[in-house]
A and B are shown apart, each in its own frame.
Chain A
Amino acid sequence: MKNYYQPEIETASYEEIRRIQNEKIVKQVKHVYDNVPYYRNLMQQKGLTPDDIKSVDDIKKLPFLSKDDLREAYPFGLLGTDLKNIVRIQSTSGTTGKRVVAFYTQHDVDLWEECCARAIVAAGGTNEDVCQVAYGYGLFTGGAGLNGGSHKVGCMTLPMSSGNTDRQIQFMMDLGATILCCTPSYAAYIGESLAEQGYKPEDNKLKAGIFGAEPWTEEMRQGIEKSLGIKAYDIYGLTETSGPGVAFECEEQKGMHINEDHFYAEIIDPETGEVLPEGSKGELVFTSLDKEGFPLLRYRTKDICILSREKCSCGRTHVRMTKPLGRSDDMMIIRGVNVFPSQIETVLLKEGYPPNYQIVVDRVNNSDTFDIYVECPAELFSDKVSEMQTLEKNLNTAMRSMLGIGPKIHLVAPKTIERSEGKAVRVIDKRKLH
């Protein structure tokens, strides 16, 4: 028996998957039309009724949803059922405007956790494994998703959450963790810390790692695999679609299988919105086929990638997506947190700074550095060093509360932020992730 959690669906024929999708989309569009006035309105603007959607081939007629829609409809506008049926929310960090709050019924939680369970089993997980979940717990989907998936598989789950690396290592070694789930940069950091404490890769019992929530390169994968003595699997998801587990890697490590029985994927031209044929590079769009609480149809992820239906030797038939190859907007993922330059601008204006700034992101020792250079306005300038340092500290605090992560603030003299062609270069990302 190969490593499948739900073999009948994971290895179903293309025709069978299509049949399931067609059946689900008809019901889902009707569900959304009846329960989500916001989306019904968008459909009506295009002259559409649920009767126009007879199969997944008709999905391309449906209107898109974007982060702007989520902002406009915040908090309950895209809710797909009565609040009494909702058992959970998860959320992204960020401002109210940019923050995504996703709602889950028990059915949605189970569906999501099953997707994560598929990822864990694909990485070799069974009920004999000890699964250390070092993603953040709480509003972030990483901890909750993998924790639930690990329960479903029957692993002994270590709900570590992120941080406190010494404790992570102690539990890992004392309890014999065999699977590690966290962000790739944290995995790399744990690997370094183990080495610093004198452990060799063969000293731990880990066999696999499931790493996601931030971009990482093939080189990083090789580094993590070497330092921890494991096979490292990628996992993809976003709060809007439920969380990690929307797609996951199998042992082939050649793209992530999208759980097509729950999520219908399209690749579009980000400029025109036109659906592109298989193998084209474009923006990934997801339609949730059976979520109840937060049933987003044609949600534009802004992630640029390629889909492939090429046969996979693992036996799974679900379409594979490449790692995101870039973004069609200006969002950055820093230490696993989504950051938009506009959020930084909002904080600066609120704190009395001009919107002249530069963000520098780099990756040093596998960990993201996040620096913001800000022009110091004359009104805030002080002859006292302590006051200037207080300014930097206060700005750091304000950024942290807006973004969820704290940048290092550097005050610079006015008009010194580099400008090219009269326009400031806002973001310098030195990480070379794509």
Chain B
Amino acid sequence: MAITQLSAFLENTPGTLCETISAITAAGINIRALSVADTKDFGILRIIVSDIEKTKAAVSNDTVVKETPVIAVRMNDKAGALNSVLSVLRQAQINVEYVYAFTGAVAGNAYVVMRVDDIEHAEQTLAQNGIKTLSDSDIEDYLN
């Protein structure tokens, strides 16, 4: 099952990221995972949060925010774990558009978030290979 990622358009200027994060923090929202992609002019903030609706309400009206389904997988925090996930997707010819990883609150666990070109296919393939993808509620449980 896919999880929901929020992405936001940020200008590549000092303080913009801080401003957005402050607004989210002030609303008491926990950011589970985060990555920023940057170009010369702008950045794209991608976050997995504990409360999507509250987050959207917390950021300024002028911030462009978008919800995107992404795949999250829990792995053992050891060498080769990510490779085995990616190998499965590669064999199924699924393109990974971007990826970010983080370690969890429970020692020994790591998580990877992936944006793929075909979510359904990716989930099926991972499931067939015994790799479970997380849901929004899993994220809460695992990371609290």
Contact = CB atoms under 8 A, between A and B. Distances in A.
Contacts of B41: 410-412
A413 B9 contact: yes
A412 B11 contact: yes
A416 B9 contact: no
Interface in B41-73: 41-42, 44, 46, 62-66, 68
Interface string B4-24: 010101110000100000000
B37 A378 contact: no
B131 to A, nearest CB: 23
A414 interface: yes
B9 A384 contact: no
Contact of A381 (B5, B39, B66, B115): B66
B68 A416 contact: no
B87 to A, nearest CB: 23
Kindly name the residue among B10, B42, B66, B68 whose own CB sees the greatest number of chain A CB atoms within 10 A: B42
9 contacts: A376-B9, A378-B64, A378-B65, A381-B64, A382-B66, A383-B5, A385-B98, A410-B41, A414-B64
Contact of A412 (B37, B42, B65): B42
Given A383-B7, A383-B115, A413 B63 contact: yes
Contacts of B44: 382-385, 388
A376 B64 CA distance: 8
A88 interface: no
Interface string A374-411: 00111001111110110000000000000000000011
Interface of B is mostly: strand
Interface of A is mostly: loop
Interface residues of B, number: 21
A311 interface: no
A413 B46 CA distance: 16
Given A411-B42, A415-B62, 18 more contacts: A376-B64, A378-B64, A381-B7, A382-B7, A383-B5, A383-B46, A383-B66, A383-B68, A388-B44, A410-B41, A411-B9, A412-B11, A412-B42, A413-B16, A413-B63, A413-B64, A414-B62, A416-B62
A389 B42 CA distance: 10
A415 B65 CA distance: 14
B54 to A, nearest CB: 19
